[in-house]
Amino acid sequence: MKPQTVIVLILVVVGVWQWDWDTSSLEVWIERNPVLGAGVYVVLLAAPGVVLPFSSLPLLPLATRSFGVVPTAVLSSVGWWGGCLIAFQIARAGRRFLERVTSLDAVDRVAKKVPQDVGFGGIVVLRVTLPTDVVSFALGLLKGLDFRTYAVASLVGILPFSFLWSYAGGELGASRLWSFALVIAVMTVVIVVIRRWWQSVH
């Protein structure tokens, strides 16, 4: 994920959450239907990685207020991981099918940067540094890549940032903007460092 993208996402998340929305009724509904609410949240997180053109990050403050930081991190991991597994399988179905759900130009740009012999560590790095859906589609086109390796490496790459994003969402939901900004700044630096290291060795 590019630093510019992270900054844009920060502004979107802050803007959406600071908007004068009354989410109390939705929070009450989730409190009364926690299992169904969790299921809807997971589906909403999985969907952008496959077909829906929106970011799920603005949902994090509401989720952390409703479920708590750790449960939100777990649910986020399940949603994002599920989405990337589905996207991988869509790509495995072939380019003709893939072009129905995404831009092949974007996928091809990422695919050119991915070594044909990308391994477990490489997948973890890609999952951390590039958008989930594009990486999933690009890796799905690599016929020699084992699905089990892809699935486990993707989960490893998703987990740390799921917890960090959820913590950041909790801070934003509690209107602790400085700590929210600090977490985002740390994540941005980590992404930049990992990305530059990856580029230097490939």
List, as one string, the DSSP characters of 70-87.
HHHHHHHHHHHHHHHHHH
- Residues 189, 4, 50, CA angle at the centre, nearest 5°? 100
Instruction: Report how far Cα 197 is from the mean position of its chain's Cα atoms.
Output: 21
Q: Please state, in angstroms and rounded to a whole number, the distance separating the CA atoms of residues 166 and 8.
A: 18
pLDDT in tens, the chain (202 residues): 444 444 445 545 544 444 445 567 778 888 889 899 999 999 888 886 555 455 667 788 888 888 999 999 999 999 989 988 988 888 887 777 777 766 677 777 777 777 767 788 888 888 887 666 778 888 888 777 888 999 999 999 899 888 988 898 888 777 787 888 888 888 888 888 887 887 777 6
Give residue for tokens 């009724």. 25
Look at residue 49 in the predicted model and tell me its pLDDT: 58
Please report the sign of the dihedral spanned by the C-alpha atoms of residue 78, residue 83, residue 88, residue 93: positive
Q: Please state, in angstroms and rounded to a whole number, the distance separating the CA atoms of residues 82 and 21.
A: 29
Look at residue 18 in the predicted model and tell me its pLDDT: 44
Q: Please state, in angstroms and rounded to a whole number, the distance separating the CA atoms of residues 168 and 44.
A: 19
Burial classification of residue 47, based on how many CB atoms lie within 10 Å of its CB (0-12 exposed, 13-18 middle, 19 or more buried): middle
Residue ranges of domains in the chain? 3-201
- Helix axis angle, 104-113 relative to 132-140, nearest 10°? 70
User: To which H or E segment does residue 24 belong?
Assistant: helix 24-32
Torsions phi, psi of 25, nearest 5? -65, -40
Look at residue 3 in the predicted model and tell me its pLDDT: 45
